Amino acid sequence: MRVWTVGTSSAVPTSDRGLPANLIEFNGERLLFDCGEGTQRTLMSKKLGIMKIDKVFISHWHADHFSGLLGLIQTMELEGRERPLYIYGPPRTEEFTDRILDTGYFNRSYDIFVEDLVEGDEIVGEGYQVSPFEVDHGINAFGFSFEEESSKKANKDKMKELGLTNSPKIGKLKQGETINWEGEEIRPEEVIEEMPGRKVVYSGDTAKSENLIQNAEDADLLIHEATCLHEMIEDRKGHTSALQAAEVAKEASVEKLILTHFSRRYRNNEQVLLEEASEEFEETELAEDGKKFEISPHRPE
């Protein structure tokens, strides 16, 4: 699994940061979360395969989070796309997407299917699901949780203790069958463990939210907005400071926090946001446009 922070500025782009967008690649499929201005150029410059994107999730309908959508749709048509594109978001997503598609003159060579979501819905893909959850932004707005399906894995230390080397019989153990190995019966529970899948959570735009904390619990990666330093948060209603993002990560027990959605006032000085967050939660990094994060599969300890 690979994750890219594609666009990382808040409200207004800068010369080196586009507007919000994030990409998850899982088993060859690419899912785009938000599509702000500049998304296409970063996807192209990093060779991230625009035509491989099949699902787009919009966190909310403020322009900085969807302003790149029309261009993306048009490019897919010009490149001869034939398979459908799916767009998901909070209530009124179908209405707003229809308005976008009625703008200007262009043909479309493929179908676009749009769905309004509510908290509790699940978009199920091959080996994963995406779940929207409500956040605190003053309008209908979502965060999203991407979760890989759990899987059965062999514990290599237990295999070694039993003298069990790699063999096709491991597959039988994973299927729940007892096997015979060198005259001894080995039961699945002696070797096989159920491992939770990897989890990535994107906050969208939000004030510090208890619902987000609950949905981000135990995430491998939390991509969280950090619009400003905490001293300014009272002037940024519906947003989060770097300190608050770190508090969310700590309270949710996530593995790594990625700060994004920076106000342009911090251009070339985003390090102060990292410093504020890192004092509360050490495993914190700054997002950059096109920056890649690898998430390794979970394995038994």
Q: Are residues 20 and 166 in the same domain?
A: no
Q: What is the CATH number of the domain that holds 117?
A: 3.60.15.10
125 shares a domain with 75: yes
The whole domain housing 159 covers 153-192
pLDDT, tens digit (0-9, with 9 covering 90-100), for 72-100: 999 999 999 999 999 999 999 999 999 99
In the chain, the number of structural domains is: 2
The answer on 268 and 160 residing in a single domain is no
Residues 58 and 173 in one domain: no
| One domain, residues 54 and 21 | yes
pLDDT digits (tens, 9 = 90+) for 125-174: 999 999 999 999 999 999 999 999 998 888 888 887 777 776 667 778 87
Average pLDDT of span 108-117:
95
pLDDT level of residue 191 (50, 70, 90 thresholds): confident
| Backbone dihedral angles phi then psi of residue 253, each to the nearest 5 degrees | 55, 45
- Report the half-sphere exposure of 196 (CA within 13 A, side-chain side): 9
**Non-local CB neighbours of 8 within 8 Å, separated by 6+ positions:** 17, 18, 20, 260, 261, 262, 287, 288, 289
Tell me: do 122 and 185 sit in the same domain. Answer: no
- For residues 108 and 215, membership in a common domain is answered with yes
Instruction: Please report, for residues 42, 81, 116, 287, the alpha-carbon distance to residue 113 in angstroms, rounded to integers and kept in the order given.
Output: 25, 14, 10, 30
105 plus 219 within the same structural domain = yes
Average pLDDT over all residues of the chain:
94
Same domain, 221 and 145: yes
Residue 266 confidence (pLDDT): 96
Q: How confident is the model at residue 25 (pLDDT cuts 50, 70, 90)?
A: very high
The percentage of the chain sitting over the pLDDT mark of 70, rounded to a whole number, equals 98
Model pLDDT for residues 140-151, shown as the tens digit of each residue: 999 999 999 998
Q: 135 and 168 share a domain?
A: no
Residue 161 has what pLDDT? 77
Q: Does residue 237 share a domain with residue 124?
A: yes
Amino acid at 125: G
Residue owning tokens 């096709």: 168
H or E segment at 96? helix 93-101
Give the mean pLDDT of 277-298.
97
Res. 108 pLDDT band, cuts 50 70 90: confident
Which residues are identified as catalytic?
64
